[in-house]
Structure 1
């Protein structure tokens, strides 16, 4: 708790030493997705992780999914390797110790006595939008922290795609990459010659938002890009009108990208959470949902859906290569040497530092 307070004071301009942003862990007192619901099958257990914590997700044949520490209290073997019994408890694969959804040991079969086995940690667990969320922080806070809204899942006017790539980088690189739309040069092979136009920003205690439009400077527009951003034409040097507004927002710890057309209607809604992995959180499991508004003739979007998937995958792979290069440079240089000049990203970095928690291995700077 003292470390978290120190990080907040430092980010707000206190004179105390600060921390390298890549050594700031996610605040665990939020709901984090750790698996797709479809991966956790009835009567089965599923192995997941949050940062350095192994998590066992158990879905009984009847009743909701629950989450426990993925270590048996007896010999520390993974509970996710165990068997779900008729009562919905998880039995360790080694000696058959059984644990209920609270993590209490209800059976040590070869002793036939109560109150013998030790409990394991249980995590508050919920499902929304096809994702299983856990609350890895203080369980007493779970009821007061709302689950996030996840794109337009369940809205029949939209078609939604799931994605969950793993990246070899700190989660903060992902927030910076999406927030800073000035990197379109990176995607020139996929999108041709376009440029981002900064329209404005908003900020609050727990969020940072930037708004952009895009202008085509030459070349033909890819079909998939037209589906997402609308039709853009090269006007031979003339200023192009704002046909749509792209809003990128980090509301800690989640990130969204929404596109509204010139009439103000939402046409695309992206939601993402960057789940930290590993003790130093230098690996990220992204969970994302991309919702696209169906046109009047919905079958047109269905026909273009595979093309859109290929296009978004190629764009993401270019981003992946870049953020992993950034992480590699951080390791080789021994810290964060970025010289950031875009005010939006500088404010974003402050937001992430303010709401995160310094890693136990972090070294104060200054």
Structure 2
């Protein structure tokens, strides 16, 4: 499945009078992180030419890089049912992420936490649940050693998901932090086109999936002769409603009457 696509965008002028919307963070006391679904988009256009919109939903853009890598291995046979959880998905543009703190995202129904592992100098995507009491790790912090620390009891995890420190454990007792049940689930992830991607399947056979299959590649995003604008917005609905909405600009002055200010047109 190709996760990115391109479509021409009609030219129309909109000036919004709506102020910034405040997004409420999940309440820690509920110990449940429930961020809204997100949509990552990228506006890419050739200088002095029409621009294109690359969205995470459509499927018409070539996924071949400028210098194609080795052919990717198929992860499912032609006769097998399509597995939505055995594909690469975009999580967030890297410039919308903060290396100083973990951030919660919900992608295809999965609650994940994205954080910068400064020891490995790479972005990590974990299951957003501490194995201790299931508190959201996205509500935690990055400690002074660059580990992801849970906000509830201070358990600390490295970039491989291994628990490295339990504050309440007896330092002279058994190394309980090394137990398998003390580990966090880690999803395969990578950065391509300045976007963090992840593979939402924890099956051990996909541990090295990046060697076999890479995320879809859009050469225009990395081409300096193009200008691109990328962003991420949290929305409380699925992609099918978003796409239908984006393909229907004629509804703006009526469905959003009083919210969006449309430049006046000639009287007819």
TM-score, normalising length: structure 2? 0.52
2:200 paired residue number: 136
Distance 2:210 2:245 in 1: 30
2:152 paired residue number: 94
1:46 aligns with 2:103: yes
Alignment of 1:1-366 (within 5 A): 27-62=84-119, 63-111=121-169, 112=171, 113-116=174-177, 118-137=182-201, 138=203, 139-140=206-207, 141-150=209-218, 152-165=220-233, 166=235, 168-171=237-240, 174=243, 186-187=248-249
Deviation, structure 1 residue 92:
0.6
Q: Secondary structure, in 3 states, of the residue corresponding to 1:38?
A: helix
Distance 1:73 1:87 in 2: 20
Distance 1:95 1:189 in 2: 50
Distance 2:134 2:176 in 1: 19
Structure 1 unaligned residues grouped into runs of 5+ = 11-24, 191-313, 315-366
Q: Secondary structure, in 3 states, of the residue corresponding to 1:35?
A: strand
Distance 1:110 1:147 in 2: 41
Alpha carbons of structure 1 residues 167 and 98: separation in structure 2 relative to 1, 3 Å: closer
| Deviation readout 1:158-206 (Å, 9 max, x if unpaired) | 11122444362354984x899xxxx7xx55689xxxxxxxxxxxxxxxx
Deviation, structure 1 residue 28:
1.6
Q: Secondary structure, in 3 states, of the residue corresponding to 1:152?
A: helix
Distance 1:160 1:119 in 2: 39
Alpha carbons of structure 1 residues 128 and 142: separation in structure 2 relative to 1, 3 Å: closer
| Deviation readout 1:252-310 (Å, 9 max, x if unpaired) | xxxxxxxxxxxxxxxxxxxxxxxxxxxxxxxxxxxxxxxxxxxxxxxxxxxxxxxxxxx
Deviation, structure 1 residue 40:
2.4
Say if 2:89 and 2:198, in contact at 8 Å, map to a contact too.
yes
Distance 1:136 1:155 in 2: 29
Which has more radius of gyration? 1
Give the total of aligned pairs: 167
| Deviation readout 1:140-166 (Å, 9 max, x if unpaired) | 334311121135123121111224443
Say if 1:33 and 1:131, in contact at 8 Å, map to a contact too.
yes
Q: Secondary structure, in 3 states, of the residue corresponding to 2:85?
A: coil
Distance 1:105 1:31 in 2: 27
Distance 1:33 1:93 in 2: 26
Distance 1:88 1:9 in 2: 42
Structure 2 unaligned residues grouped into runs of 5+ = 1-75, 253-261, 263-268
Q: Secondary structure, in 3 states, of the residue corresponding to 1:153?
A: helix
Distance 2:100 2:195 in 1: 18
Distance 1:26 1:34 in 2: 18
Say if 1:106 and 1:114, in contact at 8 Å, map to a contact too.
no
Deviation, structure 1 residue 76:
0.7
